[in-house]
Amino acid sequence: MDPSTRIAIDLVEKVFIRDFGWSFRRQTDSNIGIDARAEILENGWPTGRLLPLQIRPISCVERTEGHYIYRGEKHHLDCWARYSLPICVIIVDTETGLISWQRIEKQLCEEVRMEWSIAIPATNLLDATARLCFEEAIPTDPESLMRSAFALDLVLMEQIQDQTTFFVWDEWGDTTAIFGNLRIYIGEGQEAEPDVQIDYRLRAQNLHDVMVRLFPLGELFVC
């Protein structure tokens, strides 16, 4: 990942965590064009309501009067059309910190051969006032939530298939536990550096509740 994209993702993460109070998880593989996923939290509790995000620096887009033109790969758009939840593309001016967004909908996109484009209004700013727009767009029915979780976690599921995998959390809190700083080690030998690290901050009654909600991947042994 190039430095400008990494900075862009850092800035978007701050909005979702600081201004929305949501969870933000970077994807370990962006072959499907998804760089991160945000999850609505209710008083710090995970809800399973997910929002996939494609995040790019402003240098990747064209500026026209009143909006930006973002161009993407056709196979990404075809893949996203099968999702049961909305996808948002977010562009970031890493120098000024301004962030703009647009929900990906087929009727808003222009498709030409192997690419597609969409207009992103400069007035669609990603800040605290945009939270309701995202919240209302995310489905709440259990079937959509489960399909979304599996679709977004496919790469991770393939990595840990038929392998012993260790999920290591930090836990703190007085009354209700807060679980965070998830490290995932794949394979029998637990190396010094995790294969995947996710900066979660989630409330739950116990660790088992967190694991079955976030990772419905198979048999879990929680200790």
Q: In terms of pLDDT, which residue wins out, 70 or 30? A: 70
Q: How far apart are CA 110 and CA 192, in angstroms?
A: 47
Residue 216 pLDDT > 70, yes or no?
no
- Residue-wise pLDDT tens digits, 54-103: 999 998 888 888 899 999 888 888 888 777 678 899 999 999 999 999 99
Collapse the DSSP code of 79 into the 3-class scheme (helix H, G, I; strand E, B; otherwise coil) and give the result: helix
Q: Which of 40, 36, 14 is nearest to 133 (CA)?
A: 40
Q: In terms of pLDDT, which residue wins out, 55 or 144? A: 55
Q: In terms of pLDDT, which residue wins out, 210 or 132? A: 132
Q: Which of 159, 166, 163, 150 is nearest to 217 (CA)?
A: 150
* Strand pairing class (67-73; 62-64): antiparallel
Q: Which of 157, 54, 73, 147 is nearest to 111 (CA)?
A: 73
Contacts of 221 (CB under 8 A, 6+ apart): none
Dihedral angle computed from the Cα positions of residues 187, 218, 34 and 6, in that order, rounded to the nearest 10 degrees: -40
| DSSP tag of 16 | I
Question: Would you tell me how many other CB atoms lie within 10 Å of the CB of residue 119?
Answer: 17
